[in-house]
Amino acid sequence: MLHLHRRKATHRWGVNALAVAALAAWGLLSQPAPPAHAAEPGVEPAAVTRTLPPGGTATIAKVVHTPTVPPKPDIVLLADTTGSMGSAIANVKVNAADIVTAVSGAQSGAQFAAANYRDAGDAVPFAVDQGLTADPALVQAGVNAWTAGGGGDFAEDGLNALYQLATGAVTFRPDGTRIVVIFGDAPSHEPSNGHTRAEVIAALQAADVRVVAVNVGAGGGLNQGGQIKAVTDATDGVFLDNVPAGEVSDAILAGIQAIEVTVTPSADCDDPLSLSLSPASRTVTSGDDAAFSETVEVDGGAAGGTYHCEVDFLIDGTSRGYVQTLTVHVPGLSVYDVQVNEGAGSVDFTVTLSVPAPFPVSVSYATTTGSAGAADYTAKSGVLTFAPNETLKTVTVPIADDAVDELNETFKLGLSSPSGAGLTDPSGEATIVDNDRDGAFTCSATALNLAGQLAAQANPANSPCVDATAAGPDNTFNAGLVTVKTTGLSASTDLTPDSQSATPAAGDKAVATSAAGSTKITVAGLVTIEVGYINATASATCATGPGGLVPQFAGSSTITNLKINGATVTVGSGPVTIPLVVGSLKLNSTTTTATGVTQQALVLDTLLTDLVIGEAKAGVTGTPTHPAGTPCRA
């Protein structure tokens, strides 16, 4: 009866489809074999994504589909070539190509070698006929070199052959699956060429070589005294018993495909993830599935973010690319900075979850003062709760709109005590952009000023500019040797817009206007000046300039019907200075500075007394917060 022996097997049959077919051909399967899986070798699922809270866990079922032939096999075909083995050798020669084709079809990186042994007394008790190669023709040539002959007694020298192969007779690849397939019909001497069974087993184990043994024919043969089965058991190999000589090649293939593989997960995880797998490893026949239960846990103090684990399911301790990637999203709570105009009435803080969570998430919030104090906003605190799959919440905080020019002010909204998520950005800052102007318009208008005697003066305070009007009665004014008789005195100031709380705009302005009707001026009986009409205007206007709105200043005046001592004098709109025996007469004078303009229509300058008729002023001034500011900017 044929037996497949695997050291750790817990069931009778675990071979793959090709091995089952070979065994069925011998009529040695009493029950139908389990169906082979159709999946490609590898881990399933190969990529997993989970969303977990800090402290959360998830368990994932994993299946590793092992290859039908152990990965990257280096297979040495070791034949007993003593005289009784002619039929078995002939069978392998005929079918060697089929063995190579079947194994290489499952593992394209397979390599093969051919070696033979006889008895210790033979001329060549052991020889390597072909070193490891992937060339089928060379493998066939190595097998074809076998001839049956020699063998002085029943026992041969198989243990020595195994020892030689384990200790360098062939050069195995460092990352290959090393398999020696020995077939024969007689046991080995013990010791064999000086090597005991224990020494041979130790050498095979040290070289990580697995032995598949095919006992040709009935009786103890290759396994007399349990010899070869002790070797296959110790090397996680396979023992096939009672194989007819004409079926040795099928048995070789079945044995290769019945080699067990041990699948061991090796995990590498980002902090703050930890991963455990159950069982720690699993041994199955090549081609069978190895199932694992994988549990990932997130540290309780994890911040929000995306973390990864990579699990390499090693086959017999070597990476074969059966890698599973695990992505864990820990929802992260963030509150964003925001900027708002002081006049908006409130500020909205946006609080977000980095990814939708399939579970509720909550977090506490509270405002804290910065440069903005209690008078600038209404303190607020509470708890936000995100329903499953919600990612956005809003916290609205009322803010005050005052009329004080000030620097931009800030306060914060902080997040704390999250449940179901980590904190990614727990503090958001609100910047309240002051909407008050960085300055004010100035304006004033005076119809007449004789040595400090004022008539028809609008907005005498000048700063700030306000809407105002003033009128003076027809009157005669005296100061020293100067007498002024005038009619129709008036003055006005106008601010646009009247309310300066609005955001500055092009066209905002201050205008001052003063006027006088018919006027007669006499000085010491020497000079008489007669004027029909006097008007002066000054303005400060916000206009587009470098970097934004800037104030522009303008002044103009009008004088009509001017006579001096009865002689008519023509006056245009430009400035004119007329010398007099008592001083000088200045007309249409415009004085502009960096902060304003003064327009004087008529100025009589004498040694003892000055007279100004038709004066208008307009300009800008800063605030304590912005001393160099203007009302054209906020």
CATH of the domain at 95: 3.40.50.410
* pLDDT > 50? residue 18: no
How far is it, in rounded angstroms, from Cα 171 to Cα 176?
Answer: 11
**Kind and range of the H or E run holding 612:** strand 610-622
How far is it, in rounded angstroms, from Cα 432 to Cα 338?
Answer: 9
- Which residues 6+ apart lie within 8 Å of 351 measured at CB? 333, 334, 335, 363, 365, 384, 392, 393, 394, 395, 415, 428
Locate the DSSP E strands across 399-532.
409-419, 422-425, 427-433, 439-450, 453-458, 468-472, 475-479, 482-486, 489-496, 509-516, 519-523, 527-531
Q: Are 222 and 274 found together in one domain?
A: no
Q: Are 528 and 483 found together in one domain?
A: yes
Asked if residue 20 is part of any domain, the answer here is: no
Contact 510, 493 (CB under 8 A): yes
Asked if residue 543 is part of any domain, the answer here is: yes
Task: Please state the rounded mean pLDDT for residues 590-607.
Answer: 96
How far is it, in rounded angstroms, from Cα 407 to Cα 342?
Answer: 11
Going by pLDDT thresholds of 50, 70 and 90, the confidence category of residue 435 is: confident
pLDDT of 5 reads 37
pLDDT of 266 reads 97
CATH of the domain at 293: 2.60.40.10
pLDDT of 405 reads 78
pLDDT of 321 reads 93
Domain boundary among 225, 258, 291: 258
Asked if residue 604 is part of any domain, the answer here is: yes
* pLDDT > 90? residue 104: yes
pLDDT of 517 reads 94
pLDDT of 284 reads 95
* pLDDT > 50? residue 442: yes
Q: Are 552 and 608 found together in one domain?
A: yes
Domain that holds residue 614: 439-622
**DSSP secondary structure string for all residues of 34-54:** PPPP-SPSEEESSEEEEE--T
Looking only at the bridges linking them, the beta strands covering 73-80 and 47-51 are unpaired
> What digits encode the pLDDT tens for the residues 542-585?
999 988 999 999 999 999 999 999 999 998 889 999 999 999 99
Going by pLDDT thresholds of 50, 70 and 90, the confidence category of residue 35 is: very low
pLDDT of 151 reads 83
Amino acid found at 445: A
Contact 351, 366 (CB under 8 A): no
Q: Are 492 and 618 found together in one domain?
A: yes
Q: Are 226 and 307 found together in one domain?
A: no
> What digits encode the pLDDT tens for the residues 114-162?
999 999 989 999 999 999 999 999 999 999 999 999 987 889 999 999 9
* pLDDT > 50? residue 102: yes
Task: Please state the rounded mean pLDDT for residues 34-43.
Answer: 66
Q: Are 479 and 497 found together in one domain?
A: yes
Asked if residue 468 is part of any domain, the answer here is: yes
> What digits encode the pLDDT tens for the residues 348-373?
999 999 999 999 999 999 999 999 99
Contact 293, 275 (CB under 8 A): no
Task: Please state the rounded mean pLDDT for residues 304-308.
Answer: 96
How far is it, in rounded angstroms, from Cα 139 to Cα 446?
Answer: 120
Asked if residue 9 is part of any domain, the answer here is: no
Asked if residue 11 is part of any domain, the answer here is: no
Structural domains of the chain, count: 4
Looking only at the bridges linking them, the beta strands covering 562-564 and 338-341 are unpaired
Asked if residue 344 is part of any domain, the answer here is: yes
For 281-315, b where at least 16 C-beta lie within 10 A, e where not — what string?
Answer: ebbbbbbbebebebebbbbeebbbbebebebbbbb
* pLDDT > 80? residue 3: no
Q: Are 287 and 185 found together in one domain?
A: no
Q: Are 57 and 79 found together in one domain?
A: no
* pLDDT > 60? residue 20: no
Contact 555, 540 (CB under 8 A): no
pLDDT of 343 reads 86
Q: Are 253 and 298 found together in one domain?
A: no
Domain boundary among 400, 433, 466: 433
pLDDT of 23 reads 43
Kindly tell me the burial class for residue 206, based on how many C-beta atoms sit within 10 Å of its own C-beta (0-12, 13-18, 19 or more): exposed
* pLDDT > 80? residue 21: no
Helices then strands, counting H and E runs in the chain, come out as: 7, 42
How far is it, in rounded angstroms, from Cα 38 to Cα 17?
Answer: 11
Residue 255: closest CA among 222, 227, 213: 213
Locate the DSSP E strands across 360-421.
361-369, 381-386, 392-398, 409-419
Kindly tell me the burial class for residue 537, based on how many C-beta atoms sit within 10 Å of its own C-beta (0-12, 13-18, 19 or more): buried
Q: Are 600 and 470 found together in one domain?
A: yes
CATH of the domain at 411: 2.60.40.2030
How far is it, in rounded angstroms, from Cα 441 to Cα 556?
Answer: 19
Residues in the chain: 634
pLDDT of 30 reads 29
Q: Which residues pair with 50 in a beta bridge?
A: 328
How far is it, in rounded angstroms, from Cα 551 to Cα 439?
Answer: 11
Domain boundary among 258, 281, 308: 258
Output DSSP code: residue 289.
Answer: E
Q: Are 426 and 286 found together in one domain?
A: no
> What digits encode the pLDDT tens for the residues 271-301?
999 999 999 999 999 999 999 999 999 999 9
Q: Are 461 and 399 found together in one domain?
A: no
HSE (CB half, 13 Å, CA atoms) of 367? Answer: 23
How far is it, in rounded angstroms, from Cα 586 to Cα 580?
Answer: 10
pLDDT of 277 reads 96
pLDDT of 404 reads 81
* pLDDT > 90? residue 634: no
CA distances from 438 to 79, 409, 549, 565, 622 (A): 102, 15, 12, 51, 6
Asked if residue 4 is part of any domain, the answer here is: no
* pLDDT > 80? residue 613: yes
Going by pLDDT thresholds of 50, 70 and 90, the confidence category of residue 171 is: very high
